[in-house]
Amino acid sequence: MNLNPFSLQNKLILITGASSGIGRQCAVACSGMGATLVLFGRNSERLNETLNLTGNPGNHMVVSVDLMEYDTVKDAVKNIVIQKGRVDGLINCAGISTTLPLNAVSPDKMEHFFRTNVIGGINLTNQVVRISNFSEIGGSVVFISSVMGVAGENGKSLYSMTKGALIAAVRSMAIELAKRNIRVNAISPGVVETPMSKNAIYSRDEESLNRITSLHPLGLGQPEDVANAAVYLLSDASKWITGTNLIVDGGYLAR
């Protein structure tokens, strides 16, 4: 009998964006807590790198798929259930970021960002939580949002509108799926040191990076800070938490 409420033993967890950054660290953390994983990403080589970091690669599965190919995603979920059984949890990590002034934001850019950051993850969730695909006893869905979904910043209108949409959607999904004991929550990180953040505009010169760092009283985050929060929301330790947005930001919003 497992008395650790944070354990993910005997749980099948899907993780998108698992080829790098927060998604990769979520895979490592979930595997360490005993989960069986299905890792989603577009780059199979980098997915296999993540697989080898889990410490138990033979127990897991990688699926190279573009979340924008909706029919392919539907078939991939069906195939996972056939091979691995019903899903217990999902972490939606896949996403993109940018810093653009409002006058550079076009309808095409908005459509691209919404498809990538919102529609892809919610469509996958819709497929995963279908009665035939999800655990009969319930489980947990986690969306990686951002503090930019609730706070303003120069040049972040495009990114913020997509992350704010996720936070809003989480609340309604949580209400709708509660009758099946499926919990839905978001995590909103501040700036985390990942390959994505290292390519951001603010990382290109020391002055800008120091300014961003100063906005986080505890300093910039590490991928494990977010991954540990995701483990908590997937585990039975959070069994009475749904429809919330867990802030993991090193004090950014406390200013």
pLDDT tens sequence across 97-119? 999 999 999 999 999 999 999 99
Residue 227, C-beta contacts closer than 8 angstroms, at least 6 positions apart: 22, 25, 26, 28, 29, 30
In a domain, residue 241? The reply is yes
Active site residue 202: no
Residue 84, C-beta contacts closer than 8 angstroms, at least 6 positions apart: 12, 36, 38, 61
User: Taking phi first (over 0 means left), then psi (-120 to 50 degrees means alpha), and beta for anything else, what does residue 62 get?
Assistant: beta
The active-site residue out of 70, 159, 202, 252 is: 159
Q: What is the pLDDT of residue 205?
A: 81
In a domain, residue 57? The reply is yes
In a domain, residue 34? The reply is yes
Banded pLDDT at 2 (limits 50, 70, 90) = low
What is this structure's pTM?
A: 0.96
Banded pLDDT at 201 (limits 50, 70, 90) = low
In a domain, residue 202? The reply is no
Q: Which region among 16-25, 197-206, 211-220 has the lowest average model confidence (pLDDT)?
A: 197-206
Q: What is the residue range of 169's domain?
A: 12-191+223-248
Q: How many domains does the chain have?
A: 1
